[in-house]
Structure 1
Amino acid sequence: MKRTTILITILSIFLSCKKEHTKSNFLGNWSSTSDSNFNIDIQFFNDSTVVDNPLMIGTYSTRWKIVNKRIEQNMLRNNGQFAKEKSVLDFEFNSTKDTLLIKKQADSIYFKFRRIKNNFEYLENRIGLKLDLPMTNEPLTSYGNKDFVFNVYLGKKNDSVIIKTDNHLRRFGKLEHQVISFYSSKKEQEKDSLKFVVFTDRSLKDRDLDSIKTILKKLPIKKFFRIYKCQEYIKDNWKTEINWVGKYEN
């Protein structure tokens, strides 16, 4: 009898630890990937979650627990109009536990979230590009008023140049319309202050950048400001705004 009691106690502890280990895989910050066509951020804490879904539900928080392969949630605070008081979600992790797939039980499609450790990773995830920025010994300065900048992000994949903007641009054919729309939205006295702020991965060759600049120079914005690496960019607070520095280039 005593041996049976000990075995039951050990088994209970093992199952409890296993459950907590599963829950610990979630703890931290998660953001929807750039190919999801929506922006949702989730923070998992031990007993609660905070979800930011600006397009539909707003910001809300839940109590949560893991039951088998499901997340069970109960609403704590809701600033939106469409969130249910209770919900059950199916989930899957990738092998390295840095990608989380979530779907409602009634849905057939999983939504993909990436674990985010700092504010630089938050940007990379949002635009869908890894950015190892170039370095320089030349003096660097801030680009100024962010309302006057059009961001262009450049990387490479399989020897092809990848171009993104804050609107998740995938093809150059749409760039002209984005730039003209941005340019036209500004007052006449502001237009001389507009600039392209160009983020480039170090894998990009000078000739690649020159080719892209040739295309950009045909558009109404004429100034180029290139961003360079700075250790002060990276903050543990994943949504801290980054004060980018760089220099004007031709």
Structure 2
Amino acid sequence: MASSKNVVFDIVGTLVSYDHLYDAIDRRLGDRLRAELIKPWLLGQLWMETAEREYTNLSIAGRYAPYAEVFESLFYRILWMGGVQKPRDFASPEDLAWIMEEYQKLTMRPGAAECVQKLRDAGFTVWAFTAADLKRVGGYFAKAGVDLPAENLLSCDSAGVGKPDLAAYKPLLERLKAENDGKTPWFAAAHMWDVSAARTAGFKGAYCTVLENEPLHNLFGDMDVVDDTLPGMAEKIIAAQAASYDV
């Protein structure tokens, strides 16, 4: 029998860390970047944040493109924005291909598997809703030994609408409510913009500060649950669900 308690996770940035990618940039380009007074980690952040922005902008403009395509395409632009005057002389296509291959090897955050297990032990069905491609994200779970049924792993690519467009969240929200007597599911993320948008769409919102540190409630509003760790967030979701009438 299906559970009437559901929690939908963002994956990359939330349960999965970007650290391996940033370390890979350092291993491949670190000495070259530091000679340009550019911190490899900061360049990685610039690349990731800009890719998220352009992915969203393309979706809003009706020109949806898969996130990995956007991310890879921006590489030389990001080098130029970071201060490299001749990016294509600075880094080769082989450098980019190697970094993109390492991008496939991201790992789960400490506490991510525990977080998922706590929720399952409390009777929650766990879902994943990502802007990334399903094969890559499914690989992250498999490598970590965390079981996630294929039918519970969903991507924005399927509908061609990117988060945080409210239209990206609403089909899953409506589906889960319809299958569970109108009971409201949770959305959990370490991106405040993501969980804020999901909450605006109608989910209950759970936010973990592990990625961004500063919740910025003045910009993104209140959350139903906030915690500094993934297991702590899971415990608060369980407690809040038990305390509510919507069980």
Q: TM-score, normalised by structure 2?
A: 0.28
Higher share of residues assigned strand: 1
Instruction: From the CA coordinates, give the structure whose radius of gyration is larger.
Output: 1
Which of structures 1 and 2 has the larger relative contact order (alpha carbons within 8 angstroms, sep 6+)? 2
